[in-house]
């Protein structure tokens, strides 16, 4: 079940959120590479999986909105 607030977002809003999350994901990747090269182990507190889950939810909502128009 999707909350009403998420349903009310336009495709433009969802695309913007997806763009912001993509930028944040790129930052996380860069930080991970820097950390691993300096410390030789994975960085604690990694948020990549959480960002990917949210991006997947946004993509699903965008698909749902495009299917619902038919």
Q: Where do the domains of the chain lie? A: 4-68
Sign, CA torsion 21/22/24/25: positive
For the whole model, what pTM was predicted?
A: 0.78
Span 16-62, pLDDT tens digits: 999 999 999 999 999 988 988 898 888 887 789 999 999 999 999 99
pLDDT band at 5 (very low <50, low <70, confident <90, very high): confident
């Amino acid at each position: 079940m999707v909350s009403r607030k998420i349903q009310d977002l336009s495709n433009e809003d969802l695309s913007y959120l997806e763009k912001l999350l993509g930028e944040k994901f790129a930052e996380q990747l860069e930080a991970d590479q820097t950390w691993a090269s300096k410390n030789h182990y994975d960085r604690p507190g990694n948020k990549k999986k959480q960002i990917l889950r949210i991006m997947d939810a946004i993509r699903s909502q965008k698909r749902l909105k495009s299917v619902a128009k038919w």
